[in-house]
Structure 1
Amino acid sequence: MGTTSLRRGLPRVPGGEPWPPAGLAPSPAAAPAVQAEPELIAPAHPSAPAASVVETVAEAEPPAVASAPAVPAAPPAAPAPAPAAVTEKPVRPKAEPRLYGSRTLGQWIKLVVLLAVGAVAAAAILVLAARGVTTLPGVSEFFEKYPGAYDLPDTAEPGFPWWAQWAHFFNIFLMVLIIRSGYQVRTEQKPPAFWTPKRGGKKISINLWLHQSLDILWLANGLIFVVLLFASGRWMRIVPTSWEAFPNTLSALLQYMTLDWPVETGWVNYNSLQQLMYFLVVFIAAPLAAITGVRMSEFWPKDAKALNKIYPVEVARAIHFPTMLFFVLFILIHVFLVFATGALRNLNHMFGGTDVVNWVGFWLFAAAIAVTAAGWYAARPLVLAPIAKLFGQVSSR
């Protein structure tokens, strides 16, 4: 351990020598990280005064080191200015897509495109299959024997009388609105208005009232047509009078499927496929729609337990909707063939009452479509309510 000279300070008493006395002292060892407090050792002799012990400890302690002057604390920094409030544009909630029936407009477009592509693909397959059938042995002889139509009795008159033309127009107008209102009744969740009969009865939606009212008019138009059809003897135009109608129907169907269509002679005689389809529409599909519609309507007696057990409403519902789909499919195919097999002449048959080829029938058909479109647009509660009030009470709930 080395030595070092003592640093002398001020005298302990006035006029005395500087303290400590001049001399050398051992170099102090490195101070530990944490300096322990000095222990107080009791004196060997208990008779030693306590004051001398305290004085001895005081003399052993190193001189106090003057503490560094306190550095004044820095003044607190001024608070930073608050950032200017950012004005955010309120986010508008996204509007719900408008539904047309059970789907949006985009969904309907996708469905129509998908159905159109599927229909074109199915038609192409059918055409190829039908053309393949015509190459089989014996098919050409079948076409020669059954060209697609048979001769009507001599009493059958050609042409279309005026009452047939008007019945055809009313049928177009009423069928379109019946299909529209029937679909609304089937898909509506909250009716826009309600109708109650004047004589009392169950409250129904105004769309159901429209559907049933149109059904009554459609049935009246059909009954008048059928009565005049038999009274004039023109019933044989749409009622098969020979068993040859059935093989000729198959022949006409194959000719349509191959796109080598049979000759159109509708002014004088329908081909057998046309005749059979018109017979199904007038005498099968229309009565089915009427019978099932009456069963589901308010006109049906609800208290007739035996009758309701024989004819449950579930059976009527299971038949009524497919019958409507049959009408829709028939109308689409019928209109397509009218335009594809000589539009001007075919339109003149039913709208112009003549077999010549001119534009009269076309413009009358266009007028009929315009009237039907106006009826479609007018079939809404704002227009229906005043009419419905003539036959009952209209309310919003």
Structure 2
Amino acid sequence: MSTLAPKKPAQKNKWLTFSATAVGAISALGILVLLARWLMDEPAIQGFVAEYPGNGTLPRDTPKGLPAWLNWQHFFNAFFIVLIIRTGWQVRTTTRPSGQWTRSNSGLLRTKRPPKKISLDLWLHLTLDTLWVLNGAIYIVLLFATGHWMRILPTSLDVFPNALSALLQYAALDWPLENGWIHYNALQLLSYFATVFIAAPLAIISGLRMSGAWPQSAARINKVYPIELARRIHVPVMAYFVLFSVVHVTLVLVTGALRNLNHMFAARDDDGWLGFGLFALALLAIIGSWFLARPLFLRPIASLMGKVSR
């Protein structure tokens, strides 16, 4: 008879790990806030914040206000990003896909190589990726055509000390003075720049390398840029988008929710409830799509683009 003690259930271990992680994260945040508040009481830091209040210098002709096209772009970007993260995680963790999809090898899609069978989750992930890239391309064109690039591209070196000042103020829970309708603070500017011009291209380039559209016969390129490197880039970039989204939504809600939501969803600068109502509708659309992204509803759509099998 064995004298070994019975192993703890895996589910209980997961909850213990999650609880310990949550307690550790909350404790770390508490220490960070206390440290930031202590620093903000120091004369040298107070002088630094007085000299660099958090807003970098922008060009004189920087557009003011947020146009309606930016509101629509913001919604579609959030919509696609949430579902891309969901399907990407499913592709990474699902061992037995609920369905398979094979591209139709006919018409404009005809190629010499036979179509490759992929999971239904991967088909949805790639389809959402394509729509997200298309939405991003439209955004970039409009951004530079209307001059709104000045709001998210650094044009002065004082953006960096101002960003550090804004970070200290956020950490101390003493929100920096800002008016998103006129300009973003320096930390917002740098974070939006990093998201649009660094994280998004990395997600696209690494995702393309991992997809079937990548030329497998290009031996020289594949040696310089192996698929293992693409995987090591793709997952951390996904984690960045999750972290950015959580921080972004949190700050929107705690630094003047109604005005911020009007900026982002209603193209107006006031404290009315229109932006909140449009935000609620957008949230319902995202949540509804999250639950509708199931094989029962996906199979009829996927079958329009290829063959679906169980």
Give 1:4's aligned residue. none
Q: Superposition pairs for residues 202-221 of structure 1, below 5 Å?
A: 202-221=116-135
Q: Deviations over 1:107-153 (max 9, x none)?
A: 77666544443332111110111122223442111111100002322
Q: Deviations over 1:150-209 (max 9, x none)?
A: 232221111111110000000111011000000000001111111111113211101001
Determine whether 1:144 maps to 2:44. no
Q: Deviations over 1:38-87 (max 9, x none)?
A: xxxxxxxxxxxxxxxxxxxxxxxxxxxxxxxxxxxxxxxxxxxxxxxxxx
Determine whether 1:119 maps to 2:33. no
Aligned partner of 1:164 among 56, 64, 70: 70
Aligned partner of 1:367 among 273, 276, 281: 281
Aligned partner of 2:232 among 307, 310, 318: 318
Give 2:213's aligned residue. 299
Which structure has more relative contact order (CA 8 Å, sep 6+)? It is 2
TM-score (normalizing by structure 1): 0.72
Q: Superposition pairs for residues 80-159 of structure 1, below 5 Å?
A: 113-159=19-65
Determine whether 1:179 maps to 2:93. no
Residues in 2 aligned to 1:158 and 1:115: alpha-carbon distance in whole angstroms: 42
Residues in 2 aligned to 1:120 and 1:263: alpha-carbon distance in whole angstroms: 26
Q: Deviations over 1:293-340 (max 9, x none)?
A: 000001111121111111100000000000000000000000000000
Determine whether 1:288 maps to 2:194. no
* Maintained 8 Å contact 1:156/1:233: yes
Query: How many aligned residue pairs are there?
Result: 294
Residues in 2 aligned to 1:115 and 1:178: alpha-carbon distance in whole angstroms: 26
Aligned partner of 1:390 among 281, 304, 309: 304
Determine whether 1:264 maps to 2:178. yes
1:230 deviates by 0.3
1:347 deviates by 0.3
Give 1:339's aligned residue. 253
TM-score (normalizing by structure 2): 0.91
Q: 1:111 to 1:213 in 2, by over 3 A?
A: farther
* Maintained 8 Å contact 1:252/1:273: yes
- Is 196-205 or 337-346 further displaced after alignment? 196-205
- Is 246-255 or 256-265 further displaced after alignment? 256-265
Which stretches in structure 1 are left out of the alignment for 5+ residues? Answer: 1-96, 98-102
Give 2:147's aligned residue. 233
Identity of aligned residues (%): 54
Aligned partner of 1:381 among 295, 300, 303: 295
* Maintained 8 Å contact 2:57/2:159: no
Give 2:244's aligned residue. 330
Q: 1:242 to 1:370 in 2, by over 3 A?
A: same
Q: Deviations over 1:219-242 (max 9, x none)?
A: 000110011000000101001110
Between Structure 1 and Structure 2, the one with more helix by share is 2
Larger radius of gyration: 1
SS across alignment from 2:102: strand
* Maintained 8 Å contact 2:153/2:189: yes
Give 2:3's aligned residue. none
Residues in 2 aligned to 1:244 and 1:204: alpha-carbon distance in whole angstroms: 49
* Maintained 8 Å contact 1:264/1:341: no
1:349 deviates by 0.4
SS across alignment from 1:195: strand
